[in-house]
Structure 1
């Protein structure tokens, strides 16, 4: 049957009918007046017979084709009962019952409507029973064939490497598995995501589902598990470093690492790699599950980092098929060429006419072009317009919003209350003239990493619930943010100023198609004559394997490894423009001294020559001859140059701990407000400034912040002042007003300031400054006795205060439970009035007194 299935899928008669059905779907979607392809009954009967054979094939290719054909057949005539039944039979045979919900009147309760014949009735009932699964909360779903096999491996406790498209539902199955684990016993689970933006989305979803069954924490704090209550840590690799420093950490039952292909993403990849290695090395009996899209032999890639046996679960099968189309525009012409990339691998070409020529606008002003293109599509569908950067996302959203609003005249009057509440929040938190406010009023949003956390979450929620149906997104879509769309429009395949990698493009377009709403997803790529890119991108088959970032770095710099082994960031800048080079070489320096076995494994798996390896090792041996800092301190911050850490260590040895340890706290108002006064006599702020200036002298923090930055220069004193204001609880609005003036209402100034401020906070303050405060805290702690550490525990927690944005311990505790910063500040007074744990108090406080957006946020998070 394997052979027959493939032969049927490749049969000319089958492919011909499928392609014509696909072209008809496109023409109907574009509301084209052109004639649709005529397909007679005999052609349909023969193609359907071939599809039924392909559906029983063993490979993803033939199953995808059969599933696509069934959906296309039904969509060609939704009222045709024969087509409905044929579609359902093909869904059943391909193990894709999840999309049968989109075929109306197939069932009466759990029973099929009508008779398919004895044999087929039995087959359909058997397939339904095979794929049905009930959970301990009495919910029930129908697995796809891929999900069923994955579930069986999960419950068997296997270590698993998952490679599957976005729409395959792998994350949904993992969350269901976590729920089942926690329902049976108290568990400790670690869920690792690549970005802070994903922390909020994942933790909120988990807390909503798990409710009081588990503590869901977004930063590491040691907690004692009460009977029947579990802990789930949702962390980035950076936050996971703190977790690993706890020598008393309870062995996790499960570690899930999402978007694992990030192991090869430059300096960020080394953090993923380090966390994977550290967790697996330490917890031998933990179940590890790692997932990413479109990766071949993922288990082998991971074995190159660490010794672990993994089962590969790989599929290219998706519940929904995709209509992939390239639209090419020509000079002074209203005629547009379309090229549809069929699942049969054929290219379907034709031409349609539009009301105006868009050639020049697509070349010179893509926002103006999108303003017209937006009018081509149905606005009742969920549409995503991809933008390469934050600035264009905001501009394009502002361009398309009036067009979409004019096609939906009731949109303003019928605006969801949640939209009005988000607008009110943005006026207070960001600025009354912020462009997102203007677009929201017209039913359009934008989404990028520069939005305040709660605003980004609200946009995601409004879009997912169809309250907003048109959204302009940046590469946050590539980082795992769950925003599946009915339709994706791409007019510029770039990330910032760089061409998007083929793998990332494949990951991006995987967002088109939602199994819970439609049978198919649509992708439209827009280009112009002589600058065509879309066809190549849509037809490119990416057979990707991933490799550890450190191995990629070693191979790339193979011939100069010994020469760069001891170079500073400034010296490295003279020989390479690679902004990650210093962090990568720092990591190799650290590993060499702290974990030689891991260092040697990476060296051997990188493929560099023995000569280059020997020279590199010899140079590293030389640079450690004068190092005084203990290796256990270096291992706590393995991505910070150990040579510079040693400078801080020896400075404390030489000048004394009193020059590096605060004698005052943020709540103290005393002390000299004079930077020339003796350190011990200075106010808290002056001590904070003094320590940061000296850290900058050692680690070149100011240089790191401004290297390859296109924003205004940030000096170390400005960084210190803004860090202090952030921990005081200042809102984005405060910082924006400082830039443009409190009375300014200039929309372009507001938008630019908002982008720069959010980037400044997320990158410079809560990432770069935090990591150097972590080094300061760890090294200072080394010189303290256990009793002294306890006495100074508050100020030694300064890195966490800065990352989360508060000096207040109660607010910090609230945020460690995943509560958004704005919400935490709003409820902290009420929380403090209750003499109980923070988590209990969260359920007790009066939410009706809060702004609705905050109360809804807390309820959605399970409180």
Structure 2
């Protein structure tokens, strides 16, 4: 029996219309109360589900998960047999893990389902699910069809590209496969992610699996040390930390069982002069291609059509591909549209050709004038009305265009929820912990008491860790987020609220950035997660702002945008070829490189210096840069005159070799601090920075983004903070000055410490230290914010700086004085003092224990 397409479309329209009406009622935009799913429609749907899931197409799988999700959301309590029916349906369509959500009797430890009413149905489900299972030792894991395909393809392929919606569960299966490979043969795993939040999440996922399989001799590190006492390592890196390994060692990673690069779409922006992170990621992958022996390579990202070609271009070998457009979560987008002074609640789904539309009949005044970019009292009221309609137990993410606005929105929401949320002991302890370790006036403490939080790049690392844990524990209902949400941060939210696509609050005459359709799809995909939710909803408060977006003109509104990634520097080079070639052919002393071309000129010179004429010409050509042999010989001839060592140039790949040579020749003009015991470290650092700003301004501006403050020596203040940071002065003490009188100033200093001090300053000073004091660890003190070997080792094991400093205070003096502490010594000491620690400190140690 085959269901006609027209019949299936009509059924789907009825189901989605029911969902649409229920949401409109919940938001109080139309009359009526919430209803259970109609029984006559249930019967029709169950018959259709049985037919279309016996041999389903991809589209029928999407329809099946959507119908099941809506029915389950609105099911009547007396529909006792529905669970058994859905177990079979979901298993048929390759979404077997979703059955764990609907079986209240599911036993997670033994991974067994409760008995079904029909023995025949139970056998049928068991047989079908067995095809989606994998075993490691005595443990069995139930996978989706997509996850099982990844597992099988990694058995067959050395290089695999994965493209899928954000909720498809690819991170779990990659971690599980990595463990399986290590069980077969010891070695290392390298996992590259774009953000520190993801470093923490992935590290914790691996720690849980290592503990489950009693592989406690494996260590998880976020820094390459080069002097490791064991080769049983799982590295979880950002691209900056990973490429640092290649600056220390030409072939740093041995016996790599699998390299995983997540959020690979970030590599696309390498041609942008301003996007150094994309260039670092691209260069890192080239280093892996040229120097490392890798048993398996995986690149993954959301909705990338040419993911296999990306893999082939990056690694020079044939790539397998596993992609799916099916999500285990039904995603709906609801958008408020204004047309001729009337308001409509539109419902968008990838299964609908056109959106469903309902006139808004109530609370029209709440919507009011929702346009523009500023946040007014009316806009805050509109956001609060939306959240209130979703229910007090819903977990919501509210997108904010900027970090400052995220804090302001959270403050406003917290005030409005003041009377509706009771006290919670764990939240109270969390507030005390953050207040004591950051600042008593930190606004995050004020909003948390009403189960509201904000999440952005300026959160201290230890605060980000405990906040994400609190969100996962559902202690917090409303989280205001910036674009950090698009970089793979997994927060368990059922609903995403987006006002408009703007990435600004105040309009600028020159640049007013907006989210692209691809980025909007990424955000919408964060609503609902595998094994957490059946339905994820996005609420757009101003559809008209998206309708007029230039990015959306040639696409359907709120569609699941896909993209193709183009790699290399070809377009950037060809667009300025004449100017770049002229600059390369000039004598260095006679030229002033245009800033837009600085990176490419540096890249070309570094390539020629590192690989020699012929190999460099081929390497440059492979990334889209075609330079004739005569020019390469001329550049090579000039490079041979350098006095600075080639090794110093190779360790500082983003510095022009001629600039490094100039720095080398003036090296005696600098007095660098090399010990924390020196006097006037901040003064010495200031003198260095003032001279570098004068003599090497492009590099100074690249690595340090210091805001001018009237009447304040901003460079000296920056250096004082850097000195305090490297001397293990606690963040709370750094922020205790009268200057930090409000949260904006507090967050600015935190942002400066976490970005400019820990990353920018070491990168700017690195060439100077490589020349004058290559063996001194002083820059590592700045980078980690710690000098004590024990504290630094904890940080390298992904314990946040503030937590590591506080934890070390509990350690015995013999352990504190260890010069080369081992992993076992540190873990033993942590276990010894564990009972004396507060709850939120213990939470952060899960990654170690």
Which TM-score band applies after superposition, normalised by the shorter structure?
A: 0.7 to 0.9
Q: How far is 1:28 from its partner? A: 5.2
Q: How many residues align?
A: 805
Contact 1:9–1:65, Cα closer than 8 Å, also in 2: no
Contact 2:134–2:141, Cα closer than 8 Å, also in 1: yes
The equivalent of 1:678 in structure 2 is none
Q: How far is 1:301 from its partner? A: 1.5
Unmatched 5+ residue regions in structure 2? 270-274, 505-511
1:243 corresponds to 2:262: no
Pair 122,25 (structure 1): closer, same or farther in 2 beyond 3 Å:
farther
The equivalent of 1:543 in structure 2 is 562
Deviates more, 1:178-187 or 1:87-96: 178-187
The equivalent of 1:519 in structure 2 is 534
The equivalent of 2:75 in structure 1 is 77
Pair 139,544 (structure 1): closer, same or farther in 2 beyond 3 Å:
same
CA distance in structure 1 between the partners assigned to 2:631 and 2:93 by the alignment: 53
Q: How far is 1:567 from its partner? A: 10
Deviations 1:537-584 (A, max 9, x none): 753342311123634533554564335658999x999977x6xx6445
TM-score normalised by length of structure 1 = 0.84
The equivalent of 1:848 in structure 2 is 835
The equivalent of 1:857 in structure 2 is 844
Superposition RMSD on alpha carbons, in Å? 3.7
Pair 181,284 (structure 1): closer, same or farther in 2 beyond 3 Å:
closer
The equivalent of 2:27 in structure 1 is 30
Deviations 1:233-252 (A, max 9, x none): 21122211232232574332
Contact 2:704–2:756, Cα closer than 8 Å, also in 1: no
2:388 is aligned, of 375, 385, 393, to: 375
Q: Which structure 2 residues correspond to residues 254-653 of structure 1 after superposition, within 5 A? A: 254-265=258-269, 266-329=275-338, 335-341=343-349, 343-355=351-363, 356-360=365-369, 363=372, 364=374, 365=376, 366-406=379-419, 408-409=420-421, 411-412=422-423, 415-417=424-426, 419-496=427-504, 497-527=512-542, 532=547, 538-548=557-567, 550-551=569-570, 553-558=572-577, 560-563=579-582, 565=584, 582-595=598-611, 600=617, 603-604=620-621, 624=639, 626-652=641-667
Pair 171,221 (structure 1): closer, same or farther in 2 beyond 3 Å:
same
The equivalent of 1:818 in structure 2 is 798
The equivalent of 1:800 in structure 2 is 780
Q: How far is 1:648 from its partner? A: 1.6
The equivalent of 1:827 in structure 2 is 807
Contact 1:324–1:538, Cα closer than 8 Å, also in 2: no
CA distance in structure 1 between the partners assigned to 2:454 and 2:591 by the alignment: 38
Contact 2:660–2:767, Cα closer than 8 Å, also in 1: yes
The equivalent of 1:699 in structure 2 is 696
Q: How far is 1:606 from its partner? A: 5.8
| 3-state SS of paired residue (2:523) | helix
Deviations 1:513-535 (A, max 9, x none): 12223211111111065774699
CA distance in structure 1 between the partners assigned to 2:440 and 2:556 by the alignment: 40
Deviations 1:290-336 (A, max 9, x none): 11111112121232233133211111111111121112357987x54
Contact 1:13–1:43, Cα closer than 8 Å, also in 2: no
| 3-state SS of paired residue (1:495) | coil
The equivalent of 1:680 in structure 2 is none
| 3-state SS of paired residue (2:440) | coil
| 3-state SS of paired residue (2:471) | helix
Q: How far is 1:800 from its partner? A: 1.6
| 3-state SS of paired residue (1:421) | helix
Pair 61,29 (structure 1): closer, same or farther in 2 beyond 3 Å:
farther
Pair 530,81 (structure 1): closer, same or farther in 2 beyond 3 Å:
same
Pair 232,36 (structure 1): closer, same or farther in 2 beyond 3 Å:
closer
Pair 595,385 (structure 1): closer, same or farther in 2 beyond 3 Å:
farther
| 3-state SS of paired residue (2:356) | strand
The equivalent of 2:509 in structure 1 is none
Contact 2:49–2:64, Cα closer than 8 Å, also in 1: yes
CA distance in structure 2 between the partners assigned to 1:131 and 1:618 by the alignment: 58
Q: How far is 1:60 from its partner? A: 3.2
Pair 110,733 (structure 1): closer, same or farther in 2 beyond 3 Å:
closer
The equivalent of 2:186 in structure 1 is 186
| 3-state SS of paired residue (2:417) | helix
| 3-state SS of paired residue (1:240) | helix
CA distance in structure 2 between the partners assigned to 1:239 and 1:51 by the alignment: 49
1:217 corresponds to 2:221: yes
Deviates more, 1:461-470 or 1:476-485: 476-485
CA distance in structure 1 between the partners assigned to 2:18 and 2:781 by the alignment: 58
Pair 113,222 (structure 1): closer, same or farther in 2 beyond 3 Å:
same
Pair 357,689 (structure 1): closer, same or farther in 2 beyond 3 Å:
closer
Contact 1:162–1:292, Cα closer than 8 Å, also in 2: yes
The equivalent of 1:234 in structure 2 is 236
| 3-state SS of paired residue (2:724) | helix
Contact 2:165–2:302, Cα closer than 8 Å, also in 1: yes
Contact 2:162–2:307, Cα closer than 8 Å, also in 1: yes
Q: How far is 1:501 from its partner? A: 1.9
2:117 is aligned, of 98, 114, 117, to: 114
